[in-house]
Amino acid sequence: MRLAERLSRIKPSATLAINAKTQELRAQGRQVVSLAVGEPDFPTPEHICAAAKEAIEQGFTRYTAVPGIPELREQAARYYERFYGVSAPKEAVILSNGGKQALYNLFLALLGPGDEVLLPAPYWVSYPDMVALADAACVPVPAGADKNYLVDVDDLESAATPRTRALILNSPSNPTGCCYTQAQLDAIAEWAVARGIFVISDEVYDRLVYAPAEPATLSPWWKKHPENFAIIGALSKTFCMTGWRVGWCLAHPDLVKAMVKIQGQSTSNVCSITQKAALAALTGPWDLVEEMKTAFARRRDLVLEAIATWPGAVCPKPDGAFYAFPDVSACYTAQIPDSTTLCTKLLEEAETALVPGAAFGDDRCIRISYALDDATLARAMERIGAVLRGK
Ligand code: PLP
């Protein structure tokens, strides 16, 4: 089968490969616990589901405007006022099918052949492939566990070239759970403005930050320099709506128009029913978010305690999202030389699925998602520890 050249530039998602192997083992009757999931283990809140049912009953089942129904654009814009005191008009927002499509639209609208995008590593798996589909290339900027997986201006300056068009920041981070402070973000933003580098701030986990850490944002920088910043948001993680597919981009209205043009020729609007559900999410109670934060902070501590017993493992404390990213390279041997081999061994011997750090640009690490109940999580962490100690 002859396929387009662009397929050679992208690889299949590593997470999907792990899930397939997990399913295979489960089909053989093995009790595999998955610490590889990228979504909260809570159900979508009832009032959100009720709004969707009502939308169907009322026949709200037609095409809508491509960037979303005006009241939802308005509410997505208000998100920044509500949490960060940043006012934004609805024309600065486009609703898309998840944060993923928002990012993809943005890359297509901004990037082209020869453009370089600075990408702090470890990074979320999809960025390099999405950027490649937009004909540009990512330049990884490594920051290891010793730096809490966070880059600074010096790191970025030494990776920048005259071809650098953009920088992607993701805080809280998938895969590390680490967060930039507002002061750290501000320093990077100031550098990017001075350098004329466009900043894409992926803030899809910004409601899942654990005290005493506080959410940080580049939305005030977007307000000051709208032509230089875009913010990605989503309801997927905040409201356990991963399957509903709704996210957005806050950007300069001209850039939003460009993204509307792209989305209008691909998927058009987000599902009309989902939009009503999203409206209920943004305007309704936020209790679930608090409940999840309490559970995730407790599980985060449980995970860190377990990792502390693993030989030589180093894990910066994650302040957000629901991931931990320990550097386990001290456990590597001639037989287990990398994260992929280690994850295969852990899947087979500890019956626990994890994503190898190599998928996120750091082969010394493994990603643990703690979006599952405490008892199962504790059991899985113990099983991993037993394998690592036995080697
Ligand atoms: N950005 C990050 C860092 C993510 O981890 C994800 C999902 O895992 C997304 C964006 C996309 O989320 P969605 O398209 O489900 O809203």
Lookup: tokens for 353:
């699925």
Q: Could you give the C-alpha distances from 2 to 5, 72, 129, in angstroms and in order?
A: 9, 42, 20
Assess whether 240 and 349 both reside in one domain.
no
Q: Look at ligand 1, atom 12, and give the residue with the nearest C-alpha.
A: 99
Domain co-membership, 328 together with 269? no
pLDDT tens-digit readout, 262-306: 999 999 999 999 999 999 999 999 999 999 999 999 999 999 999
Give how far Cα 388 sits from Cα of 329, 350, 385, Å: 11, 9, 5
pLDDT digits (tens, 9 = 90+) for 296-340: 999 999 999 999 999 999 999 999 999 999 999 999 999 999 999
Closest by CA to 15, choosing from 382, 359, 374, is 359
Ligand 1 centroid vs 271 CA: distance in angstroms? 18
Q: What is the pLDDT of residue 301?
A: 98
Q: Is residue 36 very low, low, confident or very high in pLDDT (cuts 50, 70, 90)?
A: very high
Domain boundary among 250, 283, 316: 283
pTM: 0.97
Tokens in use for 112? 């082209």
Contact, 345 vs 356, CB < 8 A? no
CB atoms near residue 259 (< 10 Å): 24
H helix or E strand, kind and range, residue 283: helix 272-283
What average pLDDT score do residues 180-195 get? 98
101, pLDDT greater than 90: yes
Supply the pLDDT for residue 164: 98
Give pLDDT, residue 129: 96
Closest atom of ligand 1 to 103 CA is: 10
pLDDT grade for 93, boundaries at 50, 70 and 90:
very high
Residues 6+ apart with CB under 8 A from 121: 140, 141, 142, 143, 360, 361, 362
pLDDT band at 16 (very low <50, low <70, confident <90, very high): confident
User: What's the gap between Cα 346 and its chain centre?
Assistant: 24
Same domain for 385 and 300: yes
Same domain, 319 and 272: no
The helix/strand/coil state of 203 is coil
Domain that holds residue 291: 5-43+287-389
Cα–ligand 1 centroid distance for 58 (angstroms): 31
CA of 305 to the centre of ligand 1 (A): 27
Query: Best substitution site from 179, 204, 245 to test ligand 1's pocket, by max atoms within 8 Å of Cβ?
Result: 204
Domain stop point among 283, 314, 349:
283
Residues 34 and 57 grouped into a single domain: no
pLDDT given for residue 11 in this prediction: 85
Cross-strand pairs, 233? 248
User: 74 and 109 share a domain?
Assistant: yes
Assign 391 a pLDDT band (cuts: 50, 70, 90). Answer: low
- On whether both 237 and 168 belong to a single domain, the answer is yes
- Round the CA-based radius of gyration of the chain to a whole number and report it: 21
Say if residues 378 and 306 touch (Cβ distance below 8 Å): yes
Confidence of residue 365 (pLDDT cuts 50, 70, 90): very high
234 CB near ligand 1 (under 6 Å): yes
DSSP assignment of 25-66: HHHTT--PEE----S-SSPPPHHHHHHHHHHHHTT--S---T
Ligand 1: which residue has its CA nearest to atom 3?
A: 174
How many other CB atoms sit within 10 Å of the CB of residue 89? 11
Q: With CA atoms as reference, report the closest residue to 303 among 145, 389, 176.
A: 176
- Say if ligand 1 is within 6 A of residue 98 CB: yes
* Residue 247 Cβ < 6 Å to ligand 1: yes
Identify the helix (H) or strand (E) that includes residue 137.
strand 137-142
- Same domain for 17 and 75, yes or no, is no
Determine how many CB atoms are found less than 10 A away from the CB of residue 162: 5
When divided into structural domains, the chain yields a total of: 2
Predicted local distance difference test score (pLDDT) of residue 76: 98
DSSP string for 110-133: H--TT-EEEEEES--THHHHHHHH
Q: Is 4 exposed, middle or buried (0-12, 13-18, 19+ CB in 10 A)?
A: exposed
Average pLDDT over residues 180-207: 98
Instruction: Judge whether 307 and 313 are in contact, CB under 8 Å.
Output: yes
Report whether 289 contacts 207 (CB < 8 A). Answer: yes
Query: Which CATH number belongs to the domain containing residue 379 in this structure?
Result: 3.90.1150.10
Average pLDDT of the residues in 145-158: 97
**Which of 255, 283, 311 is a domain's end point?**
283
Residues 329 and 243 in one domain: no
Distance (Å) from CA 385 to ligand 1 centroid:
29
| pLDDT tier for residue 251 given thresholds of 50, 70 and 90 | very high
76 and 209 co-located in one domain:
yes
Average pLDDT along the chain: 96
Do 256 and 142 reside in the same domain of the chain?
yes
Residues 221, 213: Cα–Cα separation, whole Å: 20
The Cα–Cα gap between 257 and 226 comes to: 14
For residues 159 and 139, the answer to whether their CB atoms sit within 8 Å is: yes
**What DSSP letter does each residue of 360-373 carry, written as one string?**
GT-TTBEEEE--S-
Distance CA 53, CA 170 (A): 34
Residue 112 sits in a domain whose CATH number is 3.40.640.10
DSSP reduced 3-state for 320: strand
CB atoms near residue 337 (< 10 Å): 12
Q: Give dist(CA 201, CA 332) in Å, integer.
A: 34
Assess whether the C-beta atom of 170 lies below 6 angstroms from ligand 1: yes
Question: Which residues pair with residue 140 across a beta bridge?
Answer: 119
The three-state secondary structure class of 230 is strand
Provide mean pLDDT across the span 358-362.
96
Same domain, residue pair 131 and 246: yes
Nearest Cα to 239, choosing from 209, 208, 216? 208
Residue (of 103, 228, 124) closest to 173 by Cα position = 124
